[in-house]
């Protein structure tokens, strides 16, 4: 390639790339890769960014040129030693600069999450969600156990089936406080009088659960920075629709759990598979099913409940953060109640109720915070795309 040919003319059907030093004081690119040319500081900054194989010094020129066949970045010995990652050599200073910039971006991201969470008052929203959730839990069990109690005995005791399902969602505790044992006792009492409770539970569940959805809808209005709401009448109708959708997901989860349990019994009787192997397989499947069902439920809530449909990517990320956080919180909360805290000596007979309240509140905080993380990430990525579009696709 003739370096003396004017920049921009063609040689053999190819356009000669512009040199870095050409045209000082202007902003442009030296090789079509987004690097600025002009002053010495701009040239050096471009060299630092593009180290690794696509630029070279040109004898007689005022800067560097793009060399598609060079295969390495030929720089002077004063630039320091090179370290090769794959087929592209990188300097030690470049590695340190990259790590530092990534840490700075991560710190800036969490600073934005903290600021947005403080502005949206996530603890106040979590308190409202946990209050309405606690009110909706009672009619939920009255309806679920009252109706399913007629069907579940065909597969075993209703309390055993429901407790087996709840084991995947409630923290495991040891010692004086046992949430599962208390819930099992309450379920047995409800099952014994399900004929009288089912109608009451149905009426209360329809109304009180819609209040829970209303709280979620208002909370997500601030989390995802939405401008308007649906109004009173349309909002209440929509809340009832969400109750039906989430209830259908919960029912599908219960039926699938019953099917897996029945399948395990058939495998032992008909196929002669050892019970130990089936038990381990059932536990793994139950854990995966709990994780997937938790993710699906939160994904539907994040995507379907807001007044305006957010992108599936945002809903997917929020549900993923919430599902993982839920499992981590479940393990951490169970360990804290069992090994660290002593609620029994402080609250006495009310210790189980207090632990349940704390658990519901922490889950509500995780729900709101997961949405905040997804929203900040979406806005940050959108800002990158707009910046690249505005500046001609700068890398």
Instruction: Say what angle helices 351-390 and 179-192 make with each other, to 10 degrees.
Output: 110
Question: How many whole angstroms separate alpha carbon 242 and alpha carbon 238?
Answer: 6
Rounded (10°) CA dihedral 256, 259, 260, 263:
-160
β-bridge pairing 10-11 and 14-15: antiparallel
Question: How many whole angstroms separate alpha carbon 389 and alpha carbon 395?
Answer: 11
Any residues with CB less than 8 A from the CB of 338 and at least 6 apart, and which?
173, 174, 175, 177
Residue 109 predicted with pLDDT over 80: yes
DSSP letters, 72-111, are S----GGG--EEEETTEEEEHHHHHHHHHHHHHHHHHHHH
Q: For 258-277, what is the mean pLDDT? A: 61
Contact 95, 83 (CB under 8 A): yes
Any residues with CB less than 8 A from the CB of 371 and at least 6 apart, and which?
220, 223, 224, 302, 318, 322
Helix, strand or coil, per DSSP, at residue 55:
strand
Residue 284 predicted with pLDDT over 90: no
Name the range with the highest mean pLDDT among 14-28, 79-93, 283-297, 364-378: 364-378
Between 273 and 184, the higher pLDDT residue: 184
Residues in the chain: 395
Confidence class for position 172, pLDDT limits 50, 70, 90: confident
pLDDT in tens, 209-260: 788 888 898 899 889 988 777 778 888 888 888 887 877 777 776 677 667 6
Question: How many whole angstroms separate alpha carbon 221 and alpha carbon 306?
Answer: 6
The predicted pLDDT at position 99 comes to 80
Phi and psi at residue 12, in whole multiples of 5°?
Answer: 70, 30
Total-model pTM? 0.66
Residue 363 predicted with pLDDT over 70: yes
Between 298 and 196, the higher pLDDT residue: 298
């Amino acid at each position: 390639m003739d370096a003396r040919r004017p920049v921009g003319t063609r040689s053999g059907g190819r356009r000669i790339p512009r040199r870095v030093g050409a045209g000082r004081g202007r902003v442009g690119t030296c090789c079509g890769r987004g690097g600025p040319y002009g002053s010495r500081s701009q040239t050096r900054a471009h060299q630092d960014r593009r180290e690794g194989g696509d630029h070279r010094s040109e004898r007689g020129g005022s800067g560097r040129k793009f060399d598609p066949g060079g295969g390495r970045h030929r720089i002077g010995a004063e630039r320091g030693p090179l370290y090769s990652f794959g087929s592209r050599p990188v300097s030690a200073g470049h590695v340190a600069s990259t790590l530092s910039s990534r840490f700075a971006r991560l710190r800036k991201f969490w600073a934005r999450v903290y600021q947005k969470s403080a502005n949206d008052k996530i603890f106040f929203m979590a308190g409202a969600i946990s209050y309405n959730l606690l009110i909706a839990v009672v009619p939920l069990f009255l309806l679920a156990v009252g109706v399913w109690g007629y069907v579940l005995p065909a597969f075993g005791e209703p309390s055993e089936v429901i407790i087996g399902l709840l084991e995947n969602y409630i923290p495991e505790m040891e010692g004086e406080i046992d949430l599962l044992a208390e819930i099992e006792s309450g379920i047995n009492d409800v099952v014994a009088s399900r004929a009288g409770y089912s109608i009451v539970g149905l009426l209360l569940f329809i109304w009180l659960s819609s209040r829970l959805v209303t709280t979620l809808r208002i909370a997500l209005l601030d989390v995802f920075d939405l401008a308007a709401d649906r109004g009173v009448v349309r909002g209440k109708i929509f809340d009832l629709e969400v109750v039906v959708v989430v209830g259908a997901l919960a029912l599908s989860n219960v039926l699938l759990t019953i099917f897996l349990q029945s399948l395990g019994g058939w495998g032992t009787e008909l196929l002669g598979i050892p019970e130990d192997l089936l038990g381990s397989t059932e536990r793994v499947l139950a854990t995966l099913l709990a994780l997937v069902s938790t993710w699906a439920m939160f994904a539907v809530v994040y995507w379907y409940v807001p007044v305006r449909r957010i992108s599936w990517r945002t809903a997917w990320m929020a549900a993923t953060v919430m599902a993982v956080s839920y499992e981590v919180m479940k393990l951490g909360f169970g360990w804290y109640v069992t090994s660290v805290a002593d609620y029994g000596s402080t609250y006495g007979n009310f210790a189980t109720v207090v632990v349940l309240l704390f658990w519901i509140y922490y889950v509500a905080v995780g729900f709101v915070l997961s949405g905040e993380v997804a929203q900040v990430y979406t806005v940050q990525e959108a800002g990158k795309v707009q910046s690249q579009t505005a500046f001609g696709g700068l890398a």
